[in-house]
Amino acid sequence: MTSSREIAPGLVIQGFTPPLNLKDFKLIAFDMDSTLINIECVDEIADAAGRKAEVAAITEAAMRGEITDYKESLRQRVALLKGVTVAHMQQVYEQRLQLNPGAAELVAACQRAGLKVLLVSGGFTFFTDRIRDRLGIDYTRSNVLEVQDGALTGQMVDQPWGDICDGAEKRRMLLETCTRLGIAPKQAIAMGDGANDLPMMGEAGLSVAYHAKPRVREQAMVAINSGGLDRLLEIVR
């Protein structure tokens, strides 16, 4: 890939010349944790179990790409959540989770331009469903935490499409959504921050790293290193 260049403070591009036209794209796909929202939900749920440091260390290694088996890393983290109540998860949503700066503005701009919006997450439906409803997102894919008697069991529930939404599943969901819409993957934008976002970012016509891990910044066509998600609109108008 061609060398990168900073076109504005904290905004780096490589491989193309801006501006691009937003209406040339038909789909935008977002990662959730630390991309569309400000937290890693699994880490904040773990805080209720007194295990945040332990879980967060695994999350950080997984996002940096230092753990090759993402599914196993997620199973390990979810096992440590056993006993956390649904009420605690609701507190995380209400008290800790915020949309990242520019998230609502970027989603609204894409919707006005006619793009469909996809949210694909290695996180959990408890949160993706709420963000979907809040922003009017069209499609989601994420993991289901098993609940019994109002508390987490430490396991996840298999879904019709598979067991865990990892990098390969994010890629598959992006391609499946493109097929559903009758568009080419090159008509999609994909935004993420961690190593498990790279498979879907590699298929999209425009890949965007948001305050991302070094490996992701290096491979993305756009890296937003400061400011909000809506800085993409400085490049795609």
Q: Which CATH number fits domain 5-38+99-234: 3.40.190.10, 3.40.50.1000, 2.60.40.10, 1.10.287.470?
A: 3.40.50.1000
Q: Where are the domains of the chain?
A: 5-38+99-234
Q: Return the pLDDT at 68.
A: 83
Give kind and range of the element (H or E) at residue 37: none
Q: Is the entire prediction scored with pTM above 0.85?
A: yes
Q: Return the pLDDT at 2.
A: 59
Q: Alpha-carbon distance 229 to 220, whole Å? A: 15
Which residues of the chain are under the pLDDT cut of 50? 1
What is the rounded average pLDDT for all residues in the chain?
A: 96
Give kind and range of the element (H or E) at residue 38: none
Over residues 118-156, the pLDDT tens digits come to 999 999 999 999 999 999 999 999 999 999 999 999 999
Q: Alpha-carbon distance 39 to 34, whole Å? A: 5
Instruction: Specify the 3-state DSSP secondary structure of 189.
Output: strand
Interior angle at CA 229, CA 225 and CA 234, nearest 5: 85
Q: How many CB atoms lie within 10 A of CB 42?
A: 26
Instruction: Specify the 3-state DSSP secondary structure of 104.
Output: helix
Active site residues: 31, 33
Q: Return the pLDDT at 228.
A: 98
First to last CA, the chain: 24
Instruction: Specify the 3-state DSSP secondary structure of 125.
Output: helix
Q: By 3-state DSSP, what share of the chain in percent is helix, strand and coil, each rounded to 5?
A: 45, 25, 30
Q: Alpha-carbon distance 153 to 143, whole Å? A: 14
Closest CA to 197 of 122, 143, 127: 122
Q: Alpha-carbon distance 184 to 86, whole Å? A: 40
Q: Return the pLDDT at 1.
A: 46
Strand partners, 2: none
Q: Return the pLDDT at 3.
A: 80
CB 208 within 8 A of CB 236: no
Q: Alpha-carbon distance 207 to 190, whole Å? A: 5
